Amino acid sequence: MSMESDIKFIDENGLRIDGRRPDELRHIKIEAGVLENADGSAYVEFGKNKVLAAVYGPRECHPRHLQNPSKAIIQCKYNMMTFSVSDRKRPGPDRRSVEISKIISEALESVVQTELFPRASIDVYMEILQANAGTRCAGLVAASVALADAGVPMKDIIPAIAVGKADGKLLLDLNKEEDNYGQADVPMAIIPKTGEVVLLQMDGHMTQEEFETALDMGIKACYEIYELQKDALKRRYAVETPEVEE
Amino acid sequence: METENVKPVREVVVPGDLLNEGDLKAGNGTYVLDGKIYASLLGVKSIASNYVNVIPLGGRYMPHPGDSVVGVVIDIGPSNWLVEINSPYPAPLHVNEVPWRVEFGDTARFLNLGQVILAKVLMVDETMKVQVTLNESGLRRLEGGHLVDISHSKVPRVIGKGGSMIQMIQNMTDCRIFVGQNGRIWIDGEMPNMLVAEEAIKMIAAEAHTNRLTERVKELLENRKTGLVE
A215 vs chain B: nearest CA distance in angstroms?
23
ipTM, two decimals: 0.87
CA distances from B208 to A111, A167, B17, B47, B171 (A): 29, 55, 24, 20, 21
Q: Where are the alpha helices (DSSP H) in chain B?
A: 2-5, 155-159, 164-173, 191-206, 213-223
CA-closest candidate to residue B115, choices B177, B179, B72:
B72
Average pLDDT along chain B: 89
Report which of A11, A12, A59 is spatially closest to residue A38, judged by C-alpha positions: A59
In sequence order, which ranges of B80-212 are alpha helices (DSSP H)? 155-159, 164-173, 191-206
Which domain, by its residues, includes B154?
146-225
- Give me the DSSP letters along B161-175: GGGHHHHHHHHHHT-
Q: Which pLDDT value is given to residue B48?
A: 84
Q: Which residues of A touch B33 (CB under 8 A)?
A: 155, 193-194
Residue A171 lies in a domain: yes
Q: Let me know if residue B4 belongs to a domain.
A: no
Q: Would the pLDDT of A240 be above 60?
A: no
In a shared domain, residues B123 and B157: no
Q: Which residues of A touch B157 (CB under 8 A)?
A: 242-243, 245
Q: What is the CATH number of the domain that holds B47?
A: 2.40.50.100
Verify that B31 and B80 share a domain, yes or no. no
Q: Which residues in chain B have Cβ-Cβ distances shorter than 8 Å to A150?
A: 58-59
Residues of B in contact with A231 (CB under 8 A): none
Per-residue pLDDT tens digits for A30-79? 999 999 899 999 999 999 999 999 999 899 998 999 999 999 999 999 99
Closest CA to A195 of A172, A215, A211, A213: A215
Q: Distance (Å) from the C-alpha of residue B93 to the closest C-alpha of chain A?
A: 18
| Residue B43 falls inside a structural domain | yes
Residue B90 is nearest to which of A57, A60, A237, comparing CB atoms? Answer: A60
The pLDDT tens digits for A89-104 are: 999 999 999 999 999 9
Inter-chain CB proximity B59 and A243 less than 8 Å: no
Residue B90 lies in a domain: yes
CB A184 within 8 Å of CB A205 = yes
DSSP A65: G
Give the pLDDT confidence score for residue B7 in this predicted structure.
45
A245 found inside a domain: no
**At A170, which helix (H) or strand (E)?**
strand A169-172
Q: Are A155 and B15 in contact (CB < 8 Å)? A: yes
Q: State residue B88's pLDDT score.
A: 93
Please check whether residues B85 and B134 belong to one and the same domain: yes
**Helix (H) or strand (E) run with residue A213 in it:** helix A208-236
Establish if B29 touches chain A: CB-CB under 8 angstroms: yes
Residue A5: its pLDDT value, please?
Answer: 64
Buried b / exposed e over A6-44, threshold 16 CB at 10 Å, is eeebbeeeeebeeebebeebbebebbbbebeebbbbbbb
Q: What average pLDDT does range B103-108 have in this prediction?
A: 92
Q: What is the pLDDT of residue A21?
A: 94
Q: What is the pLDDT of residues B137-175, one digit of tens each?
A: 999 999 999 999 999 989 999 999 899 999 999 999 999
Choose between B44 and A26: higher pLDDT.
Answer: A26
Count Cα atoms within 13 angstroms, Cβ side, for A200: 13
Q: What is the dihedral of CA B167, B172, B173, B179, to 10 degrees?
A: -10
Rounded percentage of chain B residues whose pLDDT exceeds 90? 69
- Identify from B42, B62, B152 which residue to disrupt to test chain A contact, counting A C-beta atoms within 10 A and taking the largest count: B42
Q: Residue A7 domain-assigned?
A: no
Sheet holding B43-48, edge to edge: B12-13, B43-48, B51-56, B25-26
Task: Give the per-residue pLDDT at B211.
Answer: 78
Q: Which of B1, B5, B9, B14 to mutate to test the interface with A (most CBs of A within 10 A)?
A: B14
Question: Cα–Cα distance between B92 and B100 in angstroms, integer?
Answer: 16
The dihedrals phi and psi of A67, each to the nearest 5 degrees, come to: -60, 140
The verdict on residue A193 lying in a domain is yes
Specify the pLDDT at position A184.
Answer: 95
Residues of B in Cβ contact (< 8 Å) with A111: 15
Tell me the pLDDT of chain A averaged across its residues.
Answer: 93
Paired residues of B26 in beta bridges: B52
Measure Cα distances from B18 to A241, B13, B34, B158 in Å: 19, 9, 12, 31
Q: Phi-psi region for residue B182, left (φ > 0), alpha (ψ -120 to 50) or beta?
A: alpha
Q: How many CB pairs under 8 A join A and B?
A: 113
What integer pLDDT is reported at residue A1 of this predicted model?
Answer: 52
Averaged over A144-170, what is the pLDDT?
95
- Contact with chain A for residue B160, Cβ under 8 A: yes
* CATH number of the CATH domain containing A109: 3.30.230.70
Q: Residues B5-38: pLDDT tens digits?
A: 444 557 889 999 999 877 888 999 999 998 899 9
A57 and B33: CB-CB below 8 Å?
no
* B27-78 pLDDT per residue, tens: 999 999 988 999 999 998 888 888 999 989 888 999 999 999 999 999 999 9
* pLDDT of residue A238 exceeding 80: no
At residue A4, the pLDDT reads 60
pLDDT at B4: 43
State the CATH number of the domain containing residue B84: 2.40.50.140
In order of A51, A64, A150, B74, the CA distances from A34 in angstroms are: 12, 31, 11, 31
